[in-house]
Amino acid sequence: MKNALKTPIRYLKGVGPKRSEELSRLGIETVEDVLYYLPARYEDRSKFTPIKDLKIGEYQTIQGEVITLSSRLARTRMPIFQIAVTDQTGIVHAIWFNQPYLKDYFRRGQKVILYGKVEKYDKLQVVQPEYEIVAEDEADSINIGRIVPVYPATTHLTQRHLRSLSHQVISQYTRYLIERLPTYLLAREKVVDIKFAIRNIHFPTTFANLEKAYRRIVFEEFFMLQLALALKKKDIKFKEEGLSHKVAGELLDSFKKALPFELTEGQKKAISDIERDMSSARPMNRLLEGDVGSGKTVVAAHALVLTIQNGFQGVLMAPTEVLARQHFIVLSELCMPLGINIVLLIGGIDPKTKKSLYSDIKEGKVSVVVGTHAVIQEGLEFKALGLAIIDEQHKFGVTQRSMLKQKGYSPHILVMTATPIPRTLALTVYGDLDISIIKELPKGRKPIATYWVEEEKREDVYNFIKEELNKGRQAYVVCPLITNSQVIPRLRSAQASHPSASLGTGKSQSAVEMYEKLKTEVFSGYEVGLLHGRMSSNEKEKVMRDFKKSKIKVLVSTIVIEVGIDVPNATIMLIENAEKFGLAQLHQLRGRIGRGDHESYCILLANPKTEEASRRLKAIEGTLDGFQIAEVDLNIRGPGEFFGTRQHGLPEIRFGNILKDFGIMELARKEAFSLVARDPNFREEHHRLLKEGLLYRFKGRLDLINVA
Ligand code: ADP
Ligand code: MG
C-alpha cells in the first residue's frame, strides 16, 4: 500500500457519505487525521463515584439509571428539560436549558453517564451536563469499564460514534505509523515511540501511560517547531557577513565616564551581551526586554556609540512620533557632548530640510538617525549602517527586520520591548532572537502604592488627591472613553477575545465629561487639563508642555498617555473604570508615575462585573513586577490572545500547551538546537525522516513560521 495513513475515512466501515461530511467539519478527512484527533479529556469509567459521595462544586462523572423525566417552561418561556438519575446510593438531577428535543432522547430505565459540575440547591444537580446513554446489553468494552476518551464533538456526532471510529482506526492503522524521531533521542529523553503514544493517547491502559503518550506527542510537536527556529536562526547567523566591531576605544570610554549613574546589573549584562554580539563576525539579532523604566535607552545608546566608534551609523526606530522625539532628546543629551551628530526624522518636515538631511545621512555627516519607521522606509540611504534599533517592536507588526534586509543591509539589530514577555512565550515567538532581560529597576525608585477602590469611595479619593496637590504634586486621571457618545473602543488588543464578557456593560467615564466635571466642581481651585487622541498634535503638545511645567495640575486623559510621557512630579494616577483596561495596559499606565523622589499612588476605581476583571485588578494591586503581571495575563488570556489578534508571530500549536508544557518546550529546544548545530543539513541517515517531516509540516514556510 502506498500510504495507508492517507486512506480517506469514507472507505472505513460504518462511515457513509453523511458521516464523513460531519467528520470533515472537524477537520477529519483521512485515517491519519483520526489518529491525530486527540481527546479533549478522559473519564475514568473503571470506577464511578457513588452519588452519595459526589463533591459539590467539582466536575465529576456520574453513572446511573433514569427514573423520571420532565419538561417545562421557565418564566422567560425558555424550555427546561430535567431527568432524575439514581445509582441506589442517591439521586441527582440533570437539567438542560433550550434543548427540548432531549425528551425524545432519554427514556425511563436507561443507563446513562453524565459529566458536569455538581451543585446543590434544594437538591443535588448538574446543569447542562455532557451525557451518554450506555448500551443496554452488549458488553460495551470501548465505552465502559476503562479510561475512556472524550473527543471534541459536534451535535451530530456522538461520543460513541467518535470513539468507535477511533477504536477501529487505531486497531487497523497504527502499525503504519512511521517513527520520525531518531532512536538516540527517544532513548536519551525517555520518550515513548509513536505507536505506543497514539494507542495510549486514545485508549490509555493507565493514566501513567496516558502521561507518557501525551509527553511524546507534545515533545514531537515542540521539537519540530524548535528545529525550524534553529534552522532559521542559523541562517541569519551564518549566511550574512557581520560587521565585526572593536569594543575598546576612546569614544566608548568617554561615554561610560559621562554617565550620571551607576548601571544596574541587568544593564551591565545586556551591554556585555551586545558587545559580544557586535564584535563577532555575525550580525547581532537580539531582543532587549525590560519593564518600563528599567533603563533600556542607555543600553541602546551604548550600542550606538559602539557602532559609531567603529565608523558606522546607527538608526533608532520608534513606533510613534512622541516616542521618537523623546528618544531624540535623551540620546542627544547622551551623545552630543561626545561630538556625535544625531538627527530627528519624522513626518511633516519641509521637503527642503528633508532633502538636505537625506544627503547628510547618505554622505555620512550624520551618525545617528532617530525617527518613526514610516519615515525611515521612504528611500532613506545610509553611507554605512552598522546598527538598527527597533523600539517597542510588538507594536509595529512584523516587517522591520526583513525590510532592512531588503535594503541590502546586514546591520546589527537590537529590538527593544517594554512588554515583559514570559520566558514561556519568548522561546517560541522570539525563538530565533537572542534575548537579554533587564529585570530590576534602577536603585532609588520609590515603589508605587496601588489601591483598588470601589465607586462608593470616590469622594475619599478626591480628597486624597487634593491633599497631594496641595503638597505640590500633580495627578493623572485616565478614562476609557473620549466622549460619552463614543462607542466603547477596542481597548487595543487587550480584551479582543471576550469583548462583552470582560468589558461589562456598565457606564464608562469619558475624558471630556470628566474634564468638565473636575474643572468646574471637584478641582475648581486647580488648573485642570485635557488630553486625548482626537486633539491636534499642536494642542496635545501644548497641554503636555503645560503639564510638564506644572502649570496644569490635573491632567484628564485617555490612554494616549500610555507610552512615552515622563513627568516625575506627577505622582498620582486615578484610573476610571479600571476594569475596562487590559493588564498590560494598566501596567504601562502605572509606569507613568513613580518616576521622581516622592511617594506615588495609583488608584484603580472599578466595580468589576466579571471574575476575570477582578483577577486583573487584584494582579495589578498585588505586584509591580511586570514579568509577574505578564504571566498572570498569559494565564488569563492564553498565548493566542496575549499579543492580540494582530500578532502573527505565534506559530500554531495543536497538541501542547506552551504554558503547562514549558518543561517539554525547553527540552525540545535544547535537543533541536544541538541537532542543528551538529547536522545542519540533516545528512545523517537517522535525521532523514525528520527532514521530511519538517518540510511536510512547514511546506516552504520555514522562513515564515516566526515573522515577528
Ligand atoms: P525604559 O526602559 O522604559 O526605556 P528609560 O531608558 O527611559 O527606561 O529609563 C528610565 C529612567 O531611568 C531615565 O530617566 C533614565 O535616565 C533612568 N536610568 C536609567 N538607568 C539608570 C540607572 N542605572 N540608575 C539610575 N537611573 C537610571
Ligand atoms: Mg523607553
In this structure, the answer to whether residues 78 and 4 fall within a common structural domain is no
The more confident residue out of 691 and 215 is: 215
H/E stretch holding 668: helix 662-678
Query: Which of 36, 193, 61, 176 lies closest to 117, judged by CA?
Result: 61
Residue 413: helix, strand or coil by DSSP?
A: strand
CA distance 55 to 266: 49
Given a contact cutoff of 8 angstroms between Cβ atoms, the answer to whether 450 and 583 are in contact is no
- Whole domain around residue 88: which residue ranges? 47-138
Q: Which atom of ligand 1 is nearest to the CA of 566?
A: 14
Q: What is the rounded average pLDDT of the residues 205-233?
A: 91
| Max Cα–Cα distance, the chain, nearest Å | 91
Determine the pLDDT at residue 700.
Answer: 54
Mean pLDDT of 40-58: 89
Q: Determine the distance separating the centroid of ligand 2 and the alpha carbon of 265, expressed in angstroms.
A: 18
Q: What is the DSSP string of 505-532?
A: SS---BHHHHHHHIIIIITTTS-EEEE-
Where do the DSSP E strands lie in 342-401?
342-345, 368-372, 385-391
Mutate to test the pocket of ligand 1, among 264, 269, 294, 414 (most ligand atoms within 8 A of CB): 294
Interhelix angle 207-239/194-202, nearest 10 degrees: 130
Winning range, highest mean pLDDT, from 395-399, 527-531, 633-637, 698-702 = 527-531
Average pLDDT over residues 275-302: 90
**With a 6 A CB cut-off, is 264 part of the ligand 1 pocket?**
yes
- What percentage of residues in the chain have a pLDDT greater than 90? 49
Query: Is residue 433 scored above 90 in pLDDT?
Result: no
Q: How far is the CA of 263 from the centre of ligand 1 (A)?
A: 9
For residues 425 and 11, the model is more confident at 11
Cα torsion angle, 319, 323, 327, 329, sign: positive
pLDDT of 379 reads 75
Query: What percentage of the chain reaches a pLDDT higher than 70?
Result: 87
Task: Indicate whether 527 and 616 sit together in one domain.
Answer: yes
pLDDT value for 396: 42
The upper half-sphere exposure of residue 206, i.e. CA atoms within 13 Å in the direction of its Cβ, equals 3
Domain membership of residue 239 (yes or no) is no
Question: How far, in Å, from the CA of 295 to the mean position of ligand 1?
Answer: 3
Is 225 part of any domain? no
Q: Do 376 and 346 share a structural domain?
A: yes
pLDDT digits (tens, 9 = 90+) for 74-89: 888 899 999 999 999 9
Q: Which atom of ligand 1 is nearest to the CA of 261?
A: 24
- Let me know the angle formed at the C-alpha of 393 by 375 and 671, rounded to the nearest 5 degrees: 140
CATH code where residue 599 lies: 3.40.50.300
Lowest model confidence (mean pLDDT) among 94-98, 500-504, 605-609? 500-504
Structural contact between residues 635 and 659, judged by C-beta atoms closer than 8 angstroms: yes
CA 197 from centroid of its chain's CA atoms: 30
The residue ranking higher by pLDDT, 133 or 185, is 185
Cα 298 from Cα 285, distance rounded (Å): 18
Residue with CA nearest ligand 1 atom 25: 442
Residue owning the nearest CA to atom 20 of ligand 1: 295
Does any domain span residue 705?
Answer: no
Per-residue 3-state assignment (H helix, E strand, C coil) for 133-177: ECCCCCCCCCCCCCEEEECCCCCCCCHHHHHHHHHHHHHHHHHHC
Is residue 332 in a domain? yes
How far does residue 643's CA lie from ligand 2's centre (Å)? 19
Residue 300 in contact with residue 435, Cβ under 8 Å? Answer: no
563 lines ligand 1 (CB under 6 A): no
Mean pLDDT of 54-70: 92
- Mean pLDDT score across all residues of the chain: 85
Average pLDDT over residues 11-23: 88
Of the pLDDT bands very low, low, confident and very high (cuts 50, 70, 90), residue 426 is confident
pLDDT digits (tens, 9 = 90+) for 656-691: 887 788 889 889 999 999 999 999 889 999 999 998
Q: What pLDDT, on a 0 to 100 scale, did the predictor assign at position 492?
A: 38
505-539 as b/e: b if 16+ CB within 10 A: eeebbbbbbbbeebbeebbeebbbbbbbeeeeeee
CA dist., res. 313 & res. 304, Å (int): 8
Which ligand 1 atom is at minimum distance from the Cα of 444? 25
Higher pLDDT, 141 or 595: 595
489 lines ligand 1 (CB under 6 A): no
| Mean pLDDT across 80-101 | 94
Atom number in ligand 1 closest to CA 296: 2
Task: Tell how strand 79-86 and strand 91-97 pair up.
Answer: antiparallel
> Please, what sign has the CA dihedral across residues 616, 620, 621, 627?
positive
pLDDT in the model for residue 536: 83
Is 481 found in the same domain as 388? no
CATH number of the domain that 117 lies in? Answer: 2.40.50.140
Ranked by mean pLDDT, the top range of 79-88, 326-335, 506-515, 586-595 is 79-88
User: Based on the domain organization, do 406 and 546 belong to the same domain?
Assistant: no
Place of cell 460531519: 22
Q: Is residue 201 part of a domain?
A: no
CA 455 centroid distance within chain: 31
Return the pLDDT at 708.
28
512 in contact with ligand 1, CB cutoff 6 A = no
Q: Is 562 in the same domain as 521?
A: yes
Statement: residue 473 has pLDDT above 70: yes
Residues contacting 91, CB < 8 A, separation 6+: 51, 67, 84, 85, 123, 124
CA–CA distances in Å: residue 552 to residues 600, 601, 625: 18, 18, 30
Task: Give the residue, by CA position, lying nearest to ligand 1 atom 19.
Answer: 295
d(CA 44, CA 262) in angstroms, rounded, equals: 60
**Chosen domain end from 400, 417, 434:** 417
Asked if residue 459 and residue 358 are part of one domain, the reply reads no
Check whether residue 462 and residue 478 sit in a common domain.
yes
Residues 77 and 169 in one domain: no
**What pLDDT, on a 0 to 100 scale, did the predictor assign at position 408?**
60
pLDDT(37) > 50: yes
Residue 296: what pLDDT? 92
Ligand 1 lined by 295 (C-beta under 6 Å): yes
The answer as to whether 237 is a domain residue is no
Q: What one-letter code names the amino acid at 651?
A: P
As given in the structure block, the three cell numbers for residue 193 are 515511540
Distance between CA atoms of 354 and 351, rounded to whole angstroms?
5
- pLDDT at site 271: 98
Q: List phi, psi (to 5°) of 363.
A: -85, -5
- In tens, the pLDDT along 142-179 reads 777 789 999 988 777 888 889 999 999 999 999 999 99
Q: With a 6 A CB cut-off, is 290 part of the ligand 1 pocket?
A: yes
Confidence of residue 496 (pLDDT cuts 50, 70, 90): very low
pLDDT at residue 248 is higher than 50: yes
DSSP 30: B
- The residue that leads in pLDDT, 488 or 608, is 608
Check pocket membership of 265 for ligand 1, CB cut-off 6 A.
no
CB of 418 shorter than 6 A to ligand 1: yes
Establish if 303 belongs to a structural domain: yes
Residue 475: φ, ψ to 5°: -135, 150
DSSP code for 585: H
Residues 72, 27, single domain; the answer is no
Least confident of 95-109, 308-322, 401-415: 401-415
Ligand 1 within 6 A of CB of 296? yes
**Whole-number pLDDT of residue 671:** 96
**In this predicted model, what pLDDT tens digit does every residue of 605-622 receive, in sequence order?**
999 888 888 989 999 999
Ligand nearest to the CA of residue 443, numbered in listed order = 1
Residue 437: closest CA among 687, 196, 268 = 268
Total domains present in the chain: 4
pLDDT digit string (tens) for 368-410?
A: 999 987 777 767 889 999 999 988 655 444 455 666 666 667 7
* Residue 519 grid cell: 474643572
C-alpha closest to that of 397 among 18, 67, 651, 708: 708
Asked if residue 409 and residue 274 are part of one domain, the reply reads: yes
> Which is higher by pLDDT, 430 or 191?
191
187 lies in some domain: no
Look up the CATH number of the domain holding residue 165: 1.10.150
69 plus 23 within the same structural domain? no
> Are 186 and 212 spatial neighbours (Cβ–Cβ below 8 Å)?
no
Task: Give residue 393's pLDDT.
Answer: 53
Contact 395, 560 (CB under 8 A): no
pLDDT tens-digit series, residues 562-572:
555 678 899 99
Mutate to test the pocket of ligand 1, among 263, 298, 302 (most ligand atoms within 8 A of CB): 298
297 close to ligand 1 (CB < 6 Angstrom): yes
Question: In terms of Cα–Cα distance, which of 30, 34, 38 is closest to 4?
Answer: 30
CA 682/CA 688 separation, integer angstroms: 6
